[in-house]
Amino acid sequence: MAREIQTIGVLTSGGDAPGMNAAIRAVVREGIAKGKKVKGIKRGYAGLLQEEIIDMKAQDVSDTIQRGGTILQTARCMEFTTPEGQELGAEICRKHGIDGIIVIGGDGSFKGAQKLAALGINTIAIPGTIDLDIACTEYTIGFDTAVNTAMDAIDKVRDTSTSHERCSIIEVMGRGAGYIALWCGIANGAEDILLPEKYDYDEQKLVDNIIANRKRGKKHHIIINAEGIGHSASMAKRIEAATGLETRATILGHMQRGGSPTCKDRVYASTMGAYAVDLLCEGKSNRVVGYRHGDYVDFDIDEALAMEKVLPEYQFQVCRNLSV
């Protein structure tokens, strides 16, 4: 029978997301409550390879649940994508007595976790990304805060856009995934949404829609453009030339990744952090925590990475139908 784990390592990797601190806090406190030692690994896999490893006590996570960002810092690390880097990472875990590790990040980070598990370190991944682009789960840490931040900002742009009777293109985050754009499209009542999963490059259709809406008496035209499509400034110039309507572009950028996490992000991230510790204590490895149909669940990482996330067509149609 496998030896019970004694020491849990925790790291955050890839883009930061509001709520990561709530998850770290839960790992530390649930781990200690279960009689384990907990070590924080700074700067993701880069910090692991540099042995930036600190002991964590319950009070080290005091006053963090309400903070955005990640107290452990995060990074992207090319070296860890190589077999040599991964073997060194596993060796460093063993050197520091880390026999279980919790990785909080997106699907890139999950691939790193998968490699550590294959090298004998019990590994659990927690979905942490504002993009909501992980197939096995309906919730990822940070999306709720980010989408609310974007929604508030778009409301503000809409006020001034309506006052000046302009067209506004607002670019939200999401290089490969349009979830922030889709949710804001519905929540902000946008006239058009441009999503990487759906974009057809038909700018004339956009122009025709703006002109038709103006004829119907609309005083503004809000286009939410996902980062993956980008080029908002040049698109604004072309639209202004084609429609004769003043058009402005606003890129919301990294402000969407910061700020105090919402209640939902604090609660779900805390629960996922505790759940990940419980999985390690049960001797599990190579699992990813998810949230589906109202329950916290876990999947084999290999299976989770093979799943495909499909943008909900019904929600997309609702967005379009309600924007007339």
- The residue (of 108 and 259) whose beta carbon lies closer to ligand ADP is 108
- The residue (of 143 and 316) whose beta carbon lies closer to ligand ADP is 143
192 is an active site residue: no
Considering only CA atoms, which of 123, 130, 104 is closest in space to residue 226?
Answer: 130
Q: Are 147 and 183 in contact (CB under 8 A)?
A: yes
Q: Which of 16, 99, 107, 131 is catalytic?
A: 131
Check binding of 107 to ligand ADP (CB under 6 A).
yes
For tokens 């519905």, the residue is 186
Residue 221 DSSP symbol: E
CB atoms within 10 A of CB 317: 10
In the region spanning residues 127 to 156, those forming contacts with ligand ADP, defined by CB under 6 A, are 129
Considering only CA atoms, which of 291, 219, 274 is closest in space to residue 34?
Answer: 274
Distance CA(165)–CA(206), nearest Å, equals: 17
Check binding of 49 to ligand ADP (CB under 6 A).
no
Check binding of 273 to ligand ADP (CB under 6 A).
no
3-state secondary structure of 89: helix
Check binding of 257 to ligand F6P (CB under 6 A).
yes
Q: Which of 171, 227, 265, 298 binds ligand F6P (CB under 6 A)?
A: 227
| Distance in Å, CB of 130 to ligand F6P, minimum | 5
Runs of H (alpha helix) within the chain: 20-33, 44-49, 83-95, 107-118, 143-163, 179-187, 203-215, 232-243, 263-281, 301-306, 313-322
Q: Which of 130, 186, 280, 289 binds ligand F6P (CB under 6 A)?
A: 130
Q: Which of 60, 71, 108, 309 binds ligand ADP (CB under 6 A)?
A: 108
For tokens 């029978």, the residue is 1
Q: Which of 12, 21, 109, 140 binds ligand ADP (CB under 6 A)?
A: 109
Site residues, ligand ADP (CB under 6 A) = 13-15, 45, 76-77, 80-81, 105-109, 111-112, 115, 129
Q: Which residues are designated catalytic?
A: 131
Site residues, ligand F6P (CB under 6 A) = 15, 129-131, 173-175, 227, 257
